[in-house]
Amino acid sequence: MKKNTLAEHNIKFLFWSKIFGSILFITPVLTLFYFSRGLDERLILLVMVFFSLGVLIGEVPTGIFADRFGAKMSFLIGSLLGIGSHALLLWAYEPWVFFLSSLLTGFAATFFSGSDEALIYESLILSNEENKMDRAMGQIDSAKFLVTIIVVIIGAILAKDLSDGQFKLLIVLSLFFMSLQFTLLLFIKNPPNQGTYQNDIRTQLKEGFFTIKKHPQVLWMFMNITLVFIPATAIFEKFDQKLLVDAGLPVYSIGIVYASAALIGFTASRTIGWMTERISRVHLLFITGLLAVLGLIGIATFTSYLGILLGILLILKLVSAIRYPVYSQLSNEIIPSNVRATTISLLSILDSGFDIIIFLTVSGMAITGFSMMFFVCAGIALIGTLLPVFPKKV
């Protein structure tokens, strides 16, 4: 990236804000935390459903908000909501409190979803660097992998006994760092043409729908991304701790495993540009999608083999680090500036719909065991991988 530009400034502060916002010490033991508070596999999947409901409720209103008032204000509101939703976990001993926390977390996430892409792409346009969108998003996303390397080790050690007091300590520590994230977001600068949309909301929504109708390839590539992401990342990461522990991994070692996976994710995120110079973005999406399908089949087949599970976890982390930045480049080359956040939010509604359908379907199979559940997940990921991706014609 060029020096002393708005893009460099915003990438830097988004990177650091994501670092502090990703310091969630309970991550390496989250599933075990759920089980300790009385949730079972079905209820854990329902927690994910409520997250998706929060996203479904918030996507369009927050996308409209970002196009009208700018990404900075959107980030600040989302950060405050995120702090509140995480704090609820301190008092979560009944399923409904977990559901509420997850719903608010999903709603908070929508204030960042789309707004971050719109902010960075519009900033890059000002310095004629829009062709570096995937590198910029990879750099920002690398923050969560970087911080995970340290946080998961500390979190797993602090919660080694899985006691209630230890869980509360992890939550309080995370709330402190989430507050620092809010402070960093105050330094974000909106591009001059962002947050200036003045037409009525119906016109704004029509323009977003028209963009998708005019460029259906955006819809296809989005479905390609989300149908792989849901089973290979969202569902797998909710049960990987349980799978690893049941296969014989000590609790205190979970942090080391997560740190290793995060290091792979960080390296992949930082080398997106190097990859796309050697492999076309379309081929990269297909290869990583196929890796996700094979990984999910491996989990379903070798549920109790610790070594295989560890290898697959690392592969899926690599896949998740590569796919979204590549999609972000391809899609933002097509979406117009004035309704960028709105259009991305409209697409994300589809993601939430798939989330709810897939989570509910898989939750009904959870009682039969992990094998059948992950075979179904592999089938869903295969459908996503085979959906066509058509980049913008030069």
308-329 confidence digits (pLDDT tens): 999 999 999 999 889 988 888 8
pLDDT above 90 (res 71) = no
Model pLDDT, residue 195? 59
Model pLDDT, residue 207? 78
What's the rounded Cα separation, in Å, for the pair 303 and 321?
24
Confidence class for position 339, pLDDT limits 50, 70, 90: low
What's the rounded Cα separation, in Å, for the pair 269 and 379?
26
More reliable by pLDDT, 67 or 53: 53
| Residue 320 tokens, joined | 């998740």
Q: Where are the alpha helices (DSSP H) in the chain?
A: 6-21, 30-36, 41-69, 71-87, 95-110, 115-126, 133-158, 164-185, 201-214, 216-229, 236-246, 254-270, 272-278, 281-301, 306-332, 340-365, 370-386
300-309, 319-328, 354-363: segment of lowest average pLDDT:
354-363
More reliable by pLDDT, 99 or 350: 99
DSSP state letters, 171-191: HHHHHHHHHHHHHHHTT----
pLDDT above 80 (res 392) = no
Model pLDDT, residue 319? 93
Model pLDDT, residue 56? 84
Mean pLDDT of 67-73: 85
Q: How large a percentage of the chain has pLDDT more than 70?
A: 94
Intra-chain end-to-end CA distance of the chain, in Å: 22
Mean pLDDT of 321-345: 80
Return mean pLDDT, the chain: 86
Model pLDDT, residue 355? 79
Q: 100, 327 in Cβ contact below 8 A?
A: no
pLDDT above 80 (res 188) = yes
Tens of pLDDT, residue by residue over 121-145, are 888 888 888 788 888 888 888 887 7
Backbone angles phi, psi at 197, to 5 degrees: -65, 130
Q: Which of 109, 105, 92, 100 is nearest to 38 (CA)?
A: 92
Mean pLDDT of 217-241: 88
Residue 303 burial by CB count (10 A; 0-12/13-18/19+): exposed, middle or buried? middle
Model pLDDT, residue 350? 78
Model pLDDT, residue 98? 95
Residue ranges of domains in the chain: 6-189+231-386
Q: What is the pTM of this model?
A: 0.73
pLDDT above 90 (res 150) = no
Model pLDDT, residue 239? 83
Tens of pLDDT, residue by residue over 87-110, are 999 999 999 999 999 999 999 998
Confidence class for position 184, pLDDT limits 50, 70, 90: very high
Mean pLDDT of 194-213: 72
Q: 363, 270 in Cβ contact below 8 A?
A: no
6-189+231-386 is a CATH 3.30.565.10 domain: no
Mean pLDDT of 219-241: 88
